[in-house]
């Protein structure tokens, strides 16, 4: 165990790396809690090492965090219940400013938290290769050592993962202006208590799914959904337009043939104290809303990276 002053120095250096290590683990695992556990385990492993013998401490820590995260991902694959397969456990939300994802490495920045949803479809080794190389500039030679493969194999995994990420870009129409206009009409009718207006923009078979603190609630049919929308009219006036990245297929709404994650037009509302109140995503087809996915659960809202209130 290092001496007191050495341990203090080591702790200081580690704290300087903590945010970056957490970012690596979070991109790998899609969970802030899991990322924090991985970072803590990396610290425990470092504290048992002969620190002066480590030539490149940031590189060593990145390698350790990568290996631990890879183990967690492999464990998840053997336990399906720990995956993203229910389509809504972690969402991505961005302000609806008309910007679309970019190509290549810039795509990762544009997707932001949404990249976590895209990465969930990758194999653990592909995910590690893409995250470490494309997002954190770790050389493929080092990635190869983490994976126990050749540098050429690691590079191939990264290339394959990059192609999948780029292919997951949604079509421009996924949250296009036409769909946004339909959602805006829905929100305006909600604010005005316009029942007939709500029925005009809702598909007769529309499905509303709400994640509440007490569980999931489902409402079917335009009449029921419109009735509920009128009761939430006040919330519809205190928020901003957003886009919500969801995995597909999402029950009751994403058009057939859509492959991969897709951005849907949405709305985010806040309480007067600035805490998030409601997040909603809307699937629109043929000028009508066919499905609405809504979150009111404070714990789930708190777990998401959300745009700032306006």
> What is the end-to-end Cα distance of the chain in Å, rounded?
51
**224: its two tokens:** 């029921």
Q: Which residues contact 101 (CB under 8 A, 6 or more apart)?
A: 107, 110, 111, 169, 170
* H helix or E strand, kind and range, residue 263: strand 262-270
CA distance 94 to 159: 27
Q: Which residues contact 220 (CB under 8 A, 6 or more apart)?
A: 205, 206, 207, 208
Specify the pLDDT at position 171.
41
10-residue block means of pLDDT along the chain (310 residues)?
Answer: 60 86 85 87 87 80 92 73 40 66 41 60 88 87 91 93 73 58 90 88 92 88 86 62 68 44 82 88 90 88 79
Pairing of strands 215-220, 276-285: unpaired
* H helix or E strand, kind and range, residue 184: helix 177-192
Specify the pLDDT at position 259.
45
List the domains of the chain with CATH numbers: 4-85+93-167 (1.20.140.160), 172-302 (3.10.450.50)
Q: DSSP of 234-246, one letter per residue?
A: TGGGSEEEEEEEE
CA dihedral (245, 246, 249, 254) in degrees, to 10, reads -50
């Amino acid at each position: 165990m290092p001496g007191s002053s050495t341990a203090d120095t080591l702790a200081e250096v580690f704290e300087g790396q903590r945010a970056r290590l957490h970012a690596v683990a979070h991109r790998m695992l899609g969970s802030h809690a899991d990322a924090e556990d991985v970072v803590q385990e990396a610290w425990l492993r470092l504290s048992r090492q002969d620190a002066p013998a480590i030539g490149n401490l940031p590189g060593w820590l990145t390698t350790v965090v990568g290996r631990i995260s890879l183990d967690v991902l492999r464990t998840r694959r053997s336990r399906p219940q720990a995956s993203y397969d229910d389509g809504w456990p972690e969402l991505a939300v961005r302000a609806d400013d008309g910007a679309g994802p970019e190509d290549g490495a810039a795509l990762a920045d544009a997707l932001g938290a949404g990249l976590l949803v895209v990465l969930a479809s990758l194999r653990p080794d592909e995910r590690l290769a893409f995250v470490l190389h494309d997002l954190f500039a770790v050389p493929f030679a080092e990635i190869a050592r983490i994976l126990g493969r050749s540098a050429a194999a690691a590079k191939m995994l990264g290339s394959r993962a990059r192609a999948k990420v780029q292919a997951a870009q949604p079509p421009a129409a996924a949250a296009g202006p036409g769909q946004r206009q339909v959602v805006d009409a829905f929100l305006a009718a909600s604010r005005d208590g316009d029942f007939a207006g709500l029925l005009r923009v809702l598909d007769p078979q529309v499905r509303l799914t709400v994640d509440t603190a007490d569980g999931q609630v489902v409402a079917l049919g335009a009449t029921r959904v419109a009735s509920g929308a009128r009761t939430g009219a006040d919330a519809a006036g205190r928020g901003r337009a957003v886009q919500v990245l969801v995995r597909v297929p999402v029950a009751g709404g994403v058009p057939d043939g859509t492959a991969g994650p897709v951005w849907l037009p949405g709305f985010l509302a806040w309480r007067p104290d600035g805490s998030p109140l409601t997040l909603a995503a809307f699937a629109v087809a043929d000028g009508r809303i066919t499905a609405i996915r809504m979150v009111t659960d404070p714990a789930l809202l708190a777990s998401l990276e959300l745009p700032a209130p306006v």
